[in-house]
Amino acid sequence: MEITLAIIKPDSYRNGDTGKIIDRIISEGFNIKEMKQLRLSKEKAEGFYNVHRERPFFSELVDFMCSGNCVVLSLERENAVDKWRTVIGATNPEEAEEGTIRALYGTDTGNNAVHGSDSSENGIIESNYFFLKRD
Ligand code: GDP
Q: Whose CA is nearest to atom 16 of ligand 1?
A: 110
DSSP 51: G
Residues 42, 47, 48, 53, CA torsion sign:
positive
Q: Is the pLDDT of residue 134 over 70?
A: no
Report CA(33)–ligand 1 centroid distance (Å). Answer: 25
Query: 57 pLDDT band (50/70/90 cuts)?
Result: very high
The pTM score is 0.97
Residue of 115, 116, 123, 131 with catalytic role: 115
| CB atoms inside a 10 Å sphere around CB 37 | 11
Note the pLDDT tens digit of each residue in 5-19: 999 999 999 999 999
Q: Is the pLDDT of residue 51 over 80?
A: yes
Note the pLDDT tens digit of each residue in 71-114: 999 999 999 999 999 999 999 999 999 999 999 999 999 999 99
Degrees to nearest 5, angle at CA 66 with 113 and 6: 40
Please state, in angstroms and rounded to a whole number, the distance separating the CA atoms of residues 67 and 70.
9
Rounded average pLDDT over 52-74: 98
Q: Is the pLDDT of residue 135 over 80?
A: no
Please state, in angstroms and rounded to a whole number, the distance separating the CA atoms of residues 10 and 33.
21
Report CA(10)–ligand 1 centroid distance (Å). Answer: 14
Active site residue 52: no
